[in-house]
Every structure is written in structure tokens, then in C-alpha cells.
Structure 1
Amino acid sequence: MNAGNSMSLASNTSVNSTTEDPGIKSKGFLGNIIVMFILALMFNISALVMIIRSSKSHRWSAFYRLMVSLNITDLFGSITCFPVLLATYANNVEWQGGQQLCNYTGYMISFVVLSSAAIVGTMSLERFIGVWFPFFYNNPTAKERRTNILLGTVWVTVAFISLLPIIGFGEYVLQYPGTWCFYNFRAQNLADKIYAYMYSVFWILTILFTIIFNLVKLVLRRIRAQDKKKQYDKANRNEIYSIILLIIIVIVTATCGIPMAIRAIVNESGSMKDNSADLHASRMATFNLVLDPLVYIFFRRENLECLFRFIRKRHGRSEKSPEQCNSTSTKTDNKATSASNQEKIEISSST
């Protein structure tokens, strides 16, 4: 470990310790982190098992390939990042790994956070291509190759971006309260500032373009559905289920990721340091590892089918129009009248 990295690590830790003694809360936070780690493992593994077991129905379409990749990325992040965090809190919030462990933790967090956002963006782009270029999209050979190329491009690009601070362009430093490392929010030299802005802007743009792709896709799908008067067949319903699932994942990703990216830009611009806000933003970004698989577990196609079936039944029972009710009562009255007339005829004939 060189002298510059050692000084930055030590100075950052000292600043954090003067603001608030993190050792006081270490035991409480340790329990929370253990619970979050267990939930992240349980939910991601459960989501993967559910996707694999239902492979006969979705036939490993592009959407589900990317969904599996998202779960694998989140599971990988949980396994590689949480143990370091647990060890630090168990050690009374004392960082023991030096700059090398800081580089490792910073790289893993940067890779997982940006990869998750980029994969969700790729899922949105894939669905957007399906609506905008249906003939190109429905080519089975091109579809599989395109999905593999997009996923490979995401992982390679994000891996390279996350590696830059380790090779000298940017810097990973210990963040408040001295339990995790990320790129320097308050860099002094030009290269570190450029990297901090580049990563944050790329992160925000990925989420924003994901939202734009979904909005445009919904508008286009609505227009084409009106023009062609599509019937709600099985394929169309499955597409609707995928869109609902993707929209909820996009909302979760944006809610968890944007605060952290904005805090990084605010800090880099020279505003007053707010360790508490940075810590809350980082926890929201980490919580995304738990929420992504949970969204799939609750909003997968099978559950949405049951939900819509229940809504249709309730809707059909509660929405009998006044005309239908009047016609039903009229038919009943007519039957009763005809029955009484028939009785009168029988009585008169018998007498």
C-alpha cells in the first residue's frame, strides 16, 4: 500500500470518527446487517429457483435471461460485499483490511450497483426493441445473440469502469462510518474529480434512459393496440405481465439508486459535508440487493395471473348494469305472470 492511499484512508477515517462515534451503534447495526444479508441470499436464491422451475412456460426468453442475470448479479454482490461489512461492524467499526481491502470493497460495490442498474436498462431496451422493431425482434436467432451481446457489453463495460480507480484514474476511499469503501466523493485532484462525475452521471443517465424507454414503450404499445385492435390472447397477456414486472423493478432501482448518485454529485460540487445523508443513501442503494428478487417473487407472471383472475371475478360480480338488472327482473315477472295465468286456465277448465 503506497503512502498516498494510506494517508487518504487514515484521514477519511479520522474525519468520520470525529463526527460521531460509530462504535456506540455497532452492535445494533450488526444485527440489521445480518438480517439484510440473510434476506438477500434467501430472496435471490428463491427467485432463481422460481425462474428455473418455470422455464417450460417462459422458454428462457430474452426477458427471463436478463432477469436471471440481474438475480445473479445481486446474489454476487451480497456474497462479496456483506461479509466485509459484517466483519467491520463485528470488530467495533474498526477497518482492518487497509487500502487493498478498500479497493476490493469499492470495486465490488461499484460493479454490482452499476451492473444492476444497467441490466434493468437492458431489459427495458429489449422490450422497447420488441415494440419498435417487431420483425427484427421476433427473429429467434437474432434475439438470443442480441441478448448475449447486450449482457456481455454491460458486464465488460461496468467491470472496466469500476477498475479505473484501482489503476490510477479515480480513487476508492473509506466512507462514513468507516465500514465501506466507494469512489471519493470529495476528490482533490482533477482525475479523481472527473471519475467521480463520470460514474455518477453514467449511473443517473442509465436510470433516466431506462425510465424513458419504458414510457415510450407504453405509449407505442397503446397506440398500436388501438390501431390493430389486438385481442387479449395468451401471448399478449404474458407481455402485459412482463411490462408490469419491469416497471416495478425500474421504480425500485430508481428509488434506491438515484439518491446515492445525487449525493455523490452534491458532495463533489463542494457543498457542506453531510455524513448522515451519505450513509442513508448508501443503505438505500444496498437495499436494492434485497428488493430486486422480492419484486420478482411477488409480481411474477403466476401471481399476476391469479391477481387479475380475482379482480375479473370481483369486477364481474359487482358490475351488473341497471339494464341487466331490469331485464332480469322483467324476465322474472313475466315468468311469474305466465305461471299465474296458466294456473287460472287449469282451474277454469277443471270446473
Structure 2
Amino acid sequence: MSPWQQRPPNGSAAGGPGPRGNGTGRAAERGSAASAAIPLTMMLTGIVGNALAMLLVSRSYRAKGSRRKRSFLLCIGSLALTDMLGQLLTSPVVISVYLSGRPWAAMDPSGRLCDFFGFSMTVFGLCPLLIASAMAAERALAIRAPHWYASHMSPRAAERGLLAIWAAGLAFALLPLAGLGRYALQWPGTWCFISAAGGSAFAAAFAALGLLSLVVTGACNLATIEALVARCRAKARAAQPGSRWGRIATETLLQLLGIMCVLSACWSPLLITMLRRVSEQAAGPCRGDARRWEPHEEWHKEWHKECDLSLTAVRLASLNQILDPWVYLLLRRILLRRFCQAASAVSKCSNAEDRDRAITLSHQIRRTTA
């Protein structure tokens, strides 16, 4: 998902061919190349990050001490794979449309490319949200119900769950083929997505599923945080070492919180905007009607700001595919040691001084009672 262009090709908001004289044509080509460099850079950054994340996940999965985290690692790897596939299927289309200097209608007179683009945006937008919810639920069960988790959860069960998520995402994105909803060209004419015109139930369902996923992710992560803090304090009071357990728990918690924050910040604006448009039950100016994008003064005053806000919201959503793997990579190594020190001071987890004080205090109490 990468609709990163600021304006339609050739500066024509309606998508019509602009004047291409000698100087104007060269300037337009230079502008297109400069603008296309932004989505190209973002695409490469996302691909590199997701590839590195999958490589590290593969190495961790094969490690001897990773049995307890294999289901979680499968979810992380699946999230990275889904994000990378989404970028590979959508970013080249946007870049080629912009570099061609032609309107979308000229490149896609049948509308099939628009349907494919909207389908890809829907699948690779919904699946990461559902996978993040599955990751949060898996960790909550592993921490809060370890006995049930040990007897019922396995990498094979995680694989089946991930396959079910992908199948559900594909089935949902195919609903327009059955006449339930449709995909339409969006402002500024370089990408397609679900049409929210006329109170679309398809758009409302997508937004509702996305927001529900965010709520489930947040609730499960809060439950996991509560259980981890309680267990860390219990280990500190019992003077148990548990340094390895504390490190693994903190690393997992940081990764969950990081991915949850990225998901919420990137997807909430778009999902809320879609629900607002559906509730208004109006066609709106930002859907794929090229006549609404004519650069006359009335349109500019009334609708340009609203369409730019919607474009900003979908750009934030497209950042999710880029930031997800880097959250995993950075919180895995670079920031973990410093954060562990701060977390240990607060939660008394893996803190040698606090353990020594607890042991000394218990000895003093025993002498006093004796």
C-alpha cells in the first residue's frame, strides 16, 4: 500500500493529458521522477526491513531455546511476509502510473487494474491487522494460561490459524466480485481502494473489522503486561534469578507494544475516516469520478482539504508495512538493553540489588522473631 503521490500525473487533477511542450514536458518528467523517488525509497526500505525481519525470525526459529516462542515467531514472520507482498504488488503500480505521465483511465480502460489494486490494498491491509491480533492473543495465552497453552498450542496450530487469517482476508477482498461493494479510483487518481460512497456496507465492514482488531490487540497486550509485571514482582520477592525469563519476556513485550502502537497510529485515521464517510452516506468528492477533480476554484475551496486529509490517512496506513519490521528489528537488539535496565528498576525484575535487599530483610526478620 503506497499511494505516496502528491498530485495526479502531469498536474492534471482530472487525469487528462497536460500540455507537453519542449520545456514543459521535460519539467514534468523531472517532477515525476523526483516524486516517484519517494514511493520507490519507501518500497525499498520496507522490502529490506521485511527481508531482514524474516531472516532473523528464521534463525531464531531454528535455535534450540526458541520452543516457547515458535508460534510467536511464526506470527512475526507471517506479518513480515504479508507486508512485503503487499508492497511488491501495489508500489510498482503506483510508481509506473506516476512515471508514465498518463491518467489511470488511459492505462486501465477496462478497470481491471483498479480492481486488482483495490483487492491488494484490502487483503494486505486487513491481514496485518488480524495477524497482529493473533500475535497479541497468542502471547496473552502463553503468559496468563501457560498450562492450557502448552497442551493446546503448537507451531502447527499457529500455521493453521495464519492460513485461516489469509483465507479470510482473501475471501473478504473478493466480495465485490459477488456484487457486495466495489473498488474505485481515489484522489489524486493514482490508486484504488474500497468505495465508501452511499453508505457502502463493504467499506463499513472493513473499517469495523480493522477497529475490532485494534481493540482486541490492545486488550490482549494490556492483559499480557499485567501478567508479566505480576510475575516479575513475584520472582523478585521469591529471590529467584529468572534473568533469562525476564529478558525474553521484556523483549516480547516490547515487540508487542511497538507493533500495537504502529498499528494504532497508522490505521486509526483511515478506519475512522471510512466510518465517517459511510455514516454520512454521501458520494463524496474523493472517489473515482474524474469530473469532480477539475481544478476549478469552487472544487478547490470546498473539497481539496478533505481529499488531502483522506490521502494523508491512507499514507499513514501504507507506512505500517514499512515500520512493522523495523519495530521488530530495533526492539530486538538496539533498545532492549537500555529499556531492560529501566524496566528492571521499576518492576524489580532481574535486579540483583533488590534481591539482595529482600534477602537481607528476611534474615533480619528471622533474627528479630527468634
TM-score by length of 2: 0.72
Shift in Å, 1:150: 1.9
Unaligned stretches of 5+ residues in structure 1: 1-12, 321-351
SS of equivalent residue, structure 1 residue 177: coil
Aligned match of 1:111? 123
Aligned match of 1:90? 99
Distance in 1 between the 2:225 and 2:337 partners? 23
Distance in 1 between the 2:188 and 2:230 partners? 51
Return the letter of the residue paired with 2:314: S
Distance in 1 between the 2:230 and 2:337 partners? 27
Distance in 2 between the 1:19 and 1:278 partners? 19
Q: 1:295 aligns with which of 321, 324, 327?
A: 327
Q: 1:89 to 1:239 in 2, by over 3 A?
A: same
Matched, 1:156 2:167: yes
Shift in Å, 1:102: 0.8
Return the letter of the residue paired with 1:120: A
Shift in Å, 1:235: 2.3
Return the letter of the residue paired with 1:58: S
Q: 1:137 to 1:313 in 2, by over 3 A?
A: closer
Shift in Å, 1:93: 5.5
Shift in Å, 1:31: 1.4
8 Å CA contact 2:259–2:324 kept in 1: the answer is yes
Shift in Å, 1:310: 7.4
Aligned match of 2:90? 81
User: RMSD across aligned C-alpha pairs, in angstroms?
Assistant: 3.1
Q: 1:91 to 1:226 in 2, by over 3 A?
A: same
Shift in Å, 1:125: 0.4
8 Å CA contact 1:70–1:116 kept in 2: the answer is yes
8 Å CA contact 1:22–1:177 kept in 2: the answer is no
8 Å CA contact 1:241–1:304 kept in 2: the answer is no
Q: 1:174 aligns with which of 172, 185, 205?
A: 185
Aligned match of 1:63? 72
Q: How does 1:256-275 map to 2 (within 5 A)?
A: 256-270=266-280, 273=285, 274-275=306-307
Return the letter of the residue paired with 2:222: L
Q: 1:197 to 1:308 in 2, by over 3 A?
A: closer
Deviations 1:124-162 (A, max 9, x none): 0001111221101123x7322331232122111111111
Q: 2:255 aligns with which of 245, 250, 268?
A: 245
Shift in Å, 1:287: 1.1
Q: How does 1:113-152 map to 2 (within 5 A)?
A: 113-139=125-151, 142-152=153-163
Runs of 4 or more off by more than 6 Å in structure 1?
19-25, 309-315
Aligned residues: 296
8 Å CA contact 1:102–1:174 kept in 2: the answer is yes
Return the letter of the residue paired with 2:162: L
8 Å CA contact 2:50–2:83 kept in 1: the answer is yes
8 Å CA contact 2:82–2:124 kept in 1: the answer is yes
8 Å CA contact 2:232–2:246 kept in 1: the answer is no
Aligned match of 1:17? 13
Q: 1:216 to 1:20 in 2, by over 3 A?
A: farther
8 Å CA contact 2:228–2:249 kept in 1: the answer is no
Matched, 1:255 2:271: no
8 Å CA contact 1:30–1:89 kept in 2: the answer is yes
8 Å CA contact 1:130–1:137 kept in 2: the answer is yes
Return the letter of the residue paired with 2:188: P
Distance in 1 between the 2:269 and 2:92 partners? 24
Distance in 2 between the 1:313 and 1:213 partners? 22
8 Å CA contact 2:185–2:192 kept in 1: the answer is yes
SS of equivalent residue, structure 2 residue 176: coil
Q: 1:142 to 1:245 in 2, by over 3 A?
A: closer
Larger radius of gyration: 1
Matched, 1:197 2:204: yes
Shift in Å, 1:239: 1.6
Q: 1:162 to 1:220 in 2, by over 3 A?
A: same
Distance in 2 between the 1:243 and 1:313 partners? 13
Aligned match of 1:307? 338
SS of equivalent residue, structure 2 residue 177: coil
Distance in 2 between the 1:131 and 1:174 partners? 45
Q: 1:164 to 1:314 in 2, by over 3 A?
A: closer
TM-score by length of 1: 0.76
Q: 1:276 aligns with which of 299, 308, 328?
A: 308
Distance in 2 between the 1:199 and 1:312 partners? 37
Distance in 2 between the 1:313 and 1:125 partners? 25
Distance in 1 between the 2:96 and 2:175 partners? 26
Q: 1:101 to 1:235 in 2, by over 3 A?
A: same
Deviations 1:209-267 (A, max 9, x none): 11111112212333344456464331232022111111111100111011111111112
Moved more, 226-235 or 170-179: 226-235
Return the letter of the residue paired with 2:273: R
